[in-house]
Amino acid sequence: MFSRTIEVEIQFGDCDPAGIVYYPNYFRFFDNATAGLFSAALGMPKRRWLEHYGIAGIPMVDTGARFLQPCSFGDRVEIRSTITDLGRSSFAVAHRLLNGGALAVEAHEKRVWAVRDATGGIKGAALPEDVRRALEPNDERA
Supply the residues annotated as catalytic. Answer: 16
DSSP the chain: --EEEEEEEPPGGGB-TTSBB-THHHHHHHHHHHHHHHHHHHTS-HHHHHHHHT--B--EEEEEEEE-S--BTT-EEEEEEEEEEE-SSEEEEEEEEEETTEEEEEEEEEEE-EEE-TTS-EEE-PPPHHHHHHTS--S---
